[in-house]
Amino acid sequence: MSIDHPVIHRFRRLARELEICLAFGFAERIDDDVYNCAVFIDHEGNICGKHHKMQLSEGYDPSWWYNRLGQASRAFDTPYGRCGIMICNERWNPLLARIPVLDGAQFLLIPAMGSRSKAQDTAVLDRGKENGVPVVEANVGVTLVVNAGEIIAVDRQEEGITFGEITIPAVADPQPAERDRVEKEFLDLRENDMKVRLERTHKRLREKAAQSK
């Protein structure tokens, strides 16, 4: 769906009615391409910013119009300060947390649907420690809140509400030159990494098919 799809407008109305901010993922269509996207809506129903997933666990093929890779990560202003978003598998990559922080992000949000392991908890905690910012992750089966370098709330329920209080640090000036350097480093590494991951995925599928015969 596009960013101005009726479903998105429904969430914008809901944010206004409840007077809360909402952040969630959806498949965003732009022209003929589709991106794994997360959007942030403020308590007045305004879209503050969005992020396209830049790293896929399964690898990437350029022909995948239905799951295009994002090309940049930027922080954006919210009622709570500047926010950066990482989506699911991106939490494992320190560079993808560093980029929005260098763009001024004072906190990070991670919508996810993946690993429930303690290793994923450690990865989210590390992203907060490395950058000195709070992190809130909503994973399917794991909701995690990191503040001041510690996990202050964790919930491993499929459904529910998790409460945690975070301290958002003072505004930091963006460092665009360093941001762009780190982003380029990631993009250069990604080119080969996505090929390696894709081959690993194909190998796993071939082995699974062979076992089912």
Residue-wise pLDDT for 19-77, tens only, equals 999 999 999 999 999 999 999 999 999 999 999 999 999 999 999 999 999 999 999 99
The sheet with strand 76-78 has its strands ordered as 76-78, 81-85, 107-111, 135-139, 142-147, 150-155
> Does 1 reside within a domain?
no
| Band of pLDDT at residue 213, cut at 50, 70 and 90 | confident
pLDDT, greater one: 160 or 26? 26
Percent of the chain at pLDDT above 70? 100
pLDDT at 115 over 90: no
Q: What is the CATH number of the domain that holds 63?
A: 3.60.110.10
pLDDT computed for residue 131 by the predictor: 97
Domain with 73, as residue range(s), is: 6-212
pLDDT computed for residue 124 by the predictor: 97
pLDDT computed for residue 116 by the predictor: 86
pTM (two decimals): 0.94
When divided into structural domains, the chain yields a total of 1
Give the amino acid at 205.
Answer: L
> Does 89 reside within a domain?
yes
User: Which sign, positive or negative, has the C-alpha torsion 67, 68, 74, 79?
Assistant: negative
> Does 19 reside within a domain?
yes
**CA separation for the pair 33, 27 (Å, rounded):** 10
Region class of 59: left (phi > 0), else alpha (psi between -120 and 50), else beta: left
Nearest to 83 by CA among 98, 53, 104: 104
DSSP for 86-104, please give it: --GGGGG-HHHHHHHHHTT
pLDDT at 210 over 90: no
Count Cβ atoms below 10 Å from residue 13 Cβ, excluding itself: 12
> Does 128 reside within a domain?
yes
pLDDT computed for residue 159 by the predictor: 85
Residue 100 near residue 75, CB atoms below 8 Å: yes
